[in-house]
A and B are shown apart, each in its own frame.
Chain A
Amino acid sequence: DIQMTQSPSTLSASVGDRVTITCRASQRISAWVAWYQQKPGKAPKLLIYEASTLQSGVPSRFSGSGSGTEFTLTISSLQPDDFATYYCQQYNSYSESFGQGTKVEIK
């Protein structure tokens, strides 16, 4: 099984900050990575797929990059609505998996 190691687990930041979250895959997975945002008590929401393609309706301050084993999600200027938990997901094989999550907190 492919493991996704996400870091950091918690991130404290202020409105306007640039924020970067990293996911490392245990083996090469091309660009088969998605990123989701989840708020407390709610279902996750798709932000990015194929490592860097922005889902329709998602603000352009979100961006993704990477290929192979290392992937990043960047929020260029953190907004109040962005305080949430973020998960990466690999879908390279027919046994998909999520990272452990990164909680973005208010500093």
Chain B
Amino acid sequence: QDQLVESGGGVVQPGRSLRLSCAASGFTFGKYAMHWVRQAPGDGLEWLGVISYDASSKFYATSVKGRFTISRDNSQNTLFLEMNSLRVGDTAVYYCAKGLPYDSSGYVTLWGQGTLVTVST
């Protein structure tokens, strides 16, 4: 069945970088927009950004624009989130999520299990 599995989380010092990956299976990855959403401990959901099915369009939340970059490799069915200049406030569980076919804006139909990123000295 459709599945998303994130990896790459861990403990990182403030100011450093980290790259998350999300492996997709069970569906035609290259047809769908893909999102990243995070959730700080005990907090709500925060949408981070979306990449179109063909990577031609990317949109980001104001809070991470310029620091975070979303990319994808459709040949490897993999989504990425490159995070730079990390801050303590970026500590959260990061989810990758499947959007709509051929549409960059839309709701999420499938979520990964999440990967925890802790930014700490």
Closest to B45 in A: A98
Shortest distance between the CB of B2 and any CB in chain A (Å): 12
Q: Which residues of A have CB within 8 Å of B104?
A: 94
In this assembly, does B11 line the interface, its C-beta being within 8 Å of a C-beta of chain A? no
Interface size class of B (residues with CB under 8 A): 20 to 34
Shortest CB-to-CB span from B89 to chain A, Å, is 17
Check B46–A98 contact: CB distance below 8 A. yes
Q: Do the beta carbons of A98 and B109 come within 8 Å of each other? A: no
Contact A87–B61 (Cβ < 8 Å): no
A residues at B contact (CB < 8 Å)? 1, 32, 34, 36, 38, 43-46, 49, 55, 87, 89, 91-101
25 residue pairs bridging A and B, Cβ less than 8 Å apart = A1-B62, A32-B105, A34-B107, A36-B45, A43-B113, A43-B114, A44-B111, A46-B107, A46-B108, A46-B109, A49-B107, A55-B109, A87-B44, A87-B45, A89-B107, A92-B105, A94-B59, A94-B104, A95-B61, A96-B50, A96-B105, A97-B61, A99-B44, A100-B44, A101-B45
Give residues in B with beta carbon < 8 Å to A.
35, 37, 44-47, 50, 57, 59-62, 95, 104-109, 111-114
